[in-house]
Amino acid sequence: MIAQAEAGILTRLEKILHDFIQELTPAKHKKPLKIKEILDDKRLVMLMIRHGLPYSFYTLIESLAPFNESDWAAYFGISTKSLQRYKKAGERFKPLQSEKIMEMAEVIYLGLELFGSADKFNAWLNQSNLALGGEKPVDLLKDSYGKSLVTGELTRISHGIFV
């Protein structure tokens, strides 16, 4: 069960994504989709990435993640100044940054589903993990291969498989 504060943020994420999806495919998705349905629809995720995610979506993901602004800038491969420009202009992110935001959204959603709160999930992210070679999961999230390892471990834990 996801904590109330995080559930509220997920509801706001769903609203932002619904409005964005309506811009992209007005006739196709009339009813609002849940975040899991969005993340599971890889074609829809691809379309959103290609059009660039809105800054408002990023700010909600940022509020759930254990990263500061310089961590995000490094993750995106841009300067903190460039990241601040996105905020000031209220622009959409480029596809490369949008893809990374969606990857992080997927990890965060899996973590919230499993641990129930951002605090518990962030604690797990910051502990050494034997199944991940003794690495902290947070340190593996810097690239797509590390992200894949982390999501795989979250999936195994959710199925009761502990290494």
d(CA 7, CA 13): 10
What type of residue is 112? L
3-class SS letters over 4-63: HHHHHHHHHHHHHHHHHHHHHCCCCCCCCCCHHHHHHCHHHHHHHHHHCCEHHHHHHHHH
Q: Tell the residue number behind the tokens 């007005």, with chain if given.
A: 26
Task: Say what the pLDDT of residue 150 is.
Answer: 96
Residues 17 and 33 sit within 8 Å (Cβ to Cβ)? yes
* Residue 97 · residue 140 · CB < 8 Å: no
pLDDT tens string, the chain, 163 residues long: the values are: 788 888 899 999 999 998 999 988 877 767 888 999 999 999 999 999 999 999 999 999 999 888 889 989 988 888 999 888 888 887 899 999 999 999 999 999 999 999 999 999 999 999 999 999 999 999 999 888 999 999 999 999 999 887 6
Q: Which residues contact 48 (CB under 8 A, 6 or more apart)?
A: 17, 20, 21, 24, 98, 102
Confidence (pLDDT) at 116: 92
**What pLDDT, on a 0 to 100 scale, did the predictor assign at position 29?**
66
Q: pLDDT at position 30, please?
A: 74
Cα–Cα dist 6/119, whole Å = 10
pLDDT of residue 137: 96
Amino acid at 136: K
The first and second tokens of residue 10, run together, are 């997920």
Q: Where are the domains of the chain?
A: 4-158
